[in-house]
Amino acid sequence: MSRYWSPQVHQLSPYIPGEQPRIPNLIKLNTNESPYGPSPRVMEAIQAANNETLRLYPDPQATALKAALAQYAGLSAEEVFVGNGSDEVLALAFQAFFQGRTEPLLFPEITYSFYPVYCQLYQVAYKMLPLRTDFTLPLTDYQQPNGGIIFPNPNAPTGIAVSLAEISRLLEHNQDSVVIVDEAYVDFGTESAASLIQRFPNLLVTQTFSKSWALAGLRVGFALGHPDLIEALNRVKDSFNSYPLDRLALVGAQAALEDLPYYQALNQKIIASREQLSQDLTALGFEVLPSKANFVFARHPHHSAADLADQLRQNAILVRHFKHPKIDQFLRITLGNEEQNQKLIKTLAHLVTTDR
Amino acid sequence: MSRYWSPQVHQLSPYIPGEQPRIPNLIKLNTNESPYGPSPRVMEAIQAANNETLRLYPDPQATALKAALAQYAGLSAEEVFVGNGSDEVLALAFQAFFQGRTEPLLFPEITYSFYPVYCQLYQVAYKMLPLRTDFTLPLTDYQQPNGGIIFPNPNAPTGIAVSLAEISRLLEHNQDSVVIVDEAYVDFGTESAASLIQRFPNLLVTQTFSKSWALAGLRVGFALGHPDLIEALNRVKDSFNSYPLDRLALVGAQAALEDLPYYQALNQKIIASREQLSQDLTALGFEVLPSKANFVFARHPHHSAADLADQLRQNAILVRHFKHPKIDQFLRITLGNEEQNQKLIKTLAHLVTTDR
């Protein structure tokens, strides 16, 4: 606390990201990174950079990356926005669309915990709507007065997806405020809402290179939507920071987009290992929510999730546990590679059979 | 314009950065980049990155880079903040210290044109104080009620510096609000105010790797100040984007800090060429302000700056011209390498002698 702080800084409870500890031989299943590296073309593109490219400012419009993303998404470059990770894209979107509204922003009670933090930062009124008891998202509840709607699809940390038909119905009934579908995990088996952009000028879809593209270290996210929405994002971004993407991130993300077969194979591998891990956890007595993400959300009827997380940590396996009372019996487990997943199952088998 | 935009988005007039055109053989003297590359160690550090480092999130606290900066600045890591270029650092500082104040923020009428843009974005009231007729900054004028003070030292686009004694006197008379000294160009011959941080808990000093470290392409900036100020910046940053610096930017900036001799030699070279260019311009009849930056600000008594800028552009030389009436007779010319500076002088010599 300090008298030099702006009034609202005192009120902030910042988002706490998963740990990035430096423990040797750690099996790190806590922050939903890809267990595999990105396309080799990414490293090639980065290594092709030279001193000349380091000393010059990046393209503030990220023209080449936007063009590549437009082609990837089947949209025009005017329908694409890029930012420093989808967290930055979301923050700018809260400013561009939700700040200063009379009606509250609506989002799920159990969801990405950065949303209420953005609301504090930009003083956006919000209302959290409960999930169903099976943790599915009842989108019909969102047909009520609002200053905007945001939800991840699939949702985090449950991993459960809603259908394109449900999103389409919501948009038909909600045309006066912006609806953001946060698709950080969409590539692991959910249909993207990007196909609805032509019909709904109030739909913004956000995605990231951190998960399915295996580039969390590069910080690149993007948004797709009607050119009017993209223009608002550009106005806010250009009033904040002209060049949030450095030259290496720009060329790296572009190179990743040029190797779609690698990316598709990567996603198939993750999906297959998710089905395997879900089966294995179920065999150990866990209840596993039907995940469409690169993580599973699971609870055991006889074991405290907090205790299991601690015991896994003692075995150099890091998973994520949230203290929210409605989900504090769950572990969120990022999919590792095959060896890591087997090690996890072996360790959990030991814990849940011997430790009652 | 769109009904989906937040009310304040309509009011924004975003900052317009200097062009980054792709013209072959262009002599680019418009955005104050270094004409020389960074230390070779930077590229080595970047090339040492592998897929493993790309797939994992960066350290959200940037611990290693902060430690290196603390050592460089003779401060503790708790007195250091890092961000995506000093533009991001400044934006977060406007939120952390200036937003919601009753009294206006004070800054010079002629200065970095991003300041009023941040004020619009965060709805900060401001008051611009004129420079003296010789374009020097009268810091004593800033001893008046305010919600904060910000100025670059040296100032941009004039290049003129104020002394540490003047800054110290201002701080003695202004202890109730935060004073930001924006030292983007400090390394080209101005004393840093970082040495005053122990005495004044309301002083924040910002610097960048984009100019003297020749790393504009990497997007790294930092702030130095009392731990209470740094904590406010962290709270805002962690409510906005956990990881604004990617892994390559982190290792690149660290590598640059490990090669101080290279950086010192680079700055000496720029200073020497600035003195030479100023002489050469004076010999052509230009009035050249006494610059302490990596650019010069010059006007010719008989030639319109706008015309000269156009004619230089026709000769594939890009300089910056500002339309503000008090400085629209000036050209801001970034120092190039020796060959580029000579080409500039030769071209200008032709323009000012034949073109009256």
For B138-152, the pLDDT digits (tens) are 999 999 999 999 999
| Same topology between domain A18-37+261-354 and domain A40-258 | no
Question: What pLDDT is stored for residue B231 in this prediction?
Answer: 97
What are the beta bridge partners of residue B331? B298
Cβ of B17 within 8 Å of Cβ of A60? The answer is yes
Distance separating alpha carbons of residues B69 and B81, to the nearest angstrom: 9
Nearest alpha-carbon partner for A194 in A63, A68, A74: A74
Tell me if chain A has a CB within 8 Å of the CB of B27: no
Tell me if chain B has a CB within 8 Å of the CB of A130: no
A23 falls in which pLDDT band (50, 70, 90)?
confident
Chain B residues whose beta carbon lies within 8 Å of the beta carbon of residue A34: 55
**CATH code of the region A40-258:** 3.40.640.10
Chain B residues whose beta carbon lies within 8 Å of the beta carbon of residue A234: 14
Tell me if chain B has a CB within 8 Å of the CB of A239: yes
Question: What pLDDT is stored for residue A213 in this prediction?
Answer: 98
CA distances from residue A21 to A312, A313, B62, B64, B82 in whole angstroms, order as listed: 15, 11, 12, 13, 20
pLDDT digits (tens, 9 = 90+) for B4-54: 999 999 999 999 888 778 778 899 999 999 999 999 999 999 999 888 889
CB B329, CB B304: distance < 8 Å: yes
What are the beta bridge partners of residue B208? B221
Tell me if chain A has a CB within 8 Å of the CB of B270: no
Mutual angle of helices B338-354 and B305-314, in 10-degree steps: 120
Distance separating alpha carbons of residues B239 and B92, to the nearest angstrom: 10
Interface of B with A in 289-318 (CB under 8 A): none
Closest CB from B18, B91, B247 relative to A241 = B91
User: How close is the nearest chain A Cα to the Cα of B71, in Å?
Assistant: 22
What residue type is B160 in one-letter code?
Answer: I
CB B110, CB B150: distance < 8 Å: no
Domain boundaries, chain B: 19-37+261-354, 41-258
Q: Which CATH architecture has domain B41-258?
A: 3-Layer(aba) Sandwich (3.40)
Chain A residues whose beta carbon lies within 8 Å of the beta carbon of residue B244: 84-85, 88, 219, 244
Distance separating alpha carbons of residues A285 and B289, to the nearest angstrom: 77
Distance separating alpha carbons of residues A204 and B12, to the nearest angstrom: 21
Cβ neighbors of B226 (< 8 A, separation 6 or more) are: B79, B197, B200, B201, B202, B203
Question: What pLDDT is stored for residue A18 in this prediction?
Answer: 81
Chain B residues whose beta carbon lies within 8 Å of the beta carbon of residue A103: none
Tell me if chain A has a CB within 8 Å of the CB of B120: yes
Distance separating alpha carbons of residues A241 and B153, to the nearest angstrom: 20
What are the beta bridge partners of residue B152? B182
Closest CB from A17, A51, A244 relative to B37 = A51
Q: Calculate the average pLDDT of chain B.
A: 96
Chain B residues whose beta carbon lies within 8 Å of the beta carbon of residue A96: 5-6, 9
Chain A residues whose beta carbon lies within 8 Å of the beta carbon of residue B58: 20, 216-217, 219
Provide the ipTM. 0.96
Distance separating alpha carbons of residues B67 and B70, to the nearest angstrom: 5
User: How close is the nearest chain B Cα to the Cα of A301, in Å?
Assistant: 32
Question: What pLDDT is stored for residue A329 in this prediction?
Answer: 97
CA distances from residue B309 to A165, B22, B304, B316, B332 in whole angstroms, order as listed: 56, 18, 9, 10, 10
Burial of B178: CB neighbours in 10 Å, binned 0-12, 13-18, 19+: buried
Q: Please list the ranges in chain B whose pLDDT falls under 50.
A: none
pLDDT digits (tens, 9 = 90+) for A305-324: 999 999 999 999 999 999 99
- What CATH topology corresponds to B19-37+261-354? Aspartate Aminotransferase, domain 1 (3.90.1150)
CA A263 to chain centre: 17
- Is the bond preceding residue B24 a cis peptide, omega within 30 degrees? no
Chain A residues whose beta carbon lies within 8 Å of the beta carbon of residue B34: 55
Interface of A with B in 50-79 (CB under 8 A): 50-60
Angle A121-A124-B81 from CA coordinates, rounded to 5°: 10
Backbone angles phi, psi at B171, to 5 degrees: -65, -35
User: How close is the nearest chain B Cα to the Cα of A119, in Å?
Assistant: 9
Q: Does domain A18-37+261-354 have CATH number 3.10.110.10?
A: no
Task: Copy the structure tokens of residue A68.
Answer: 């590549």
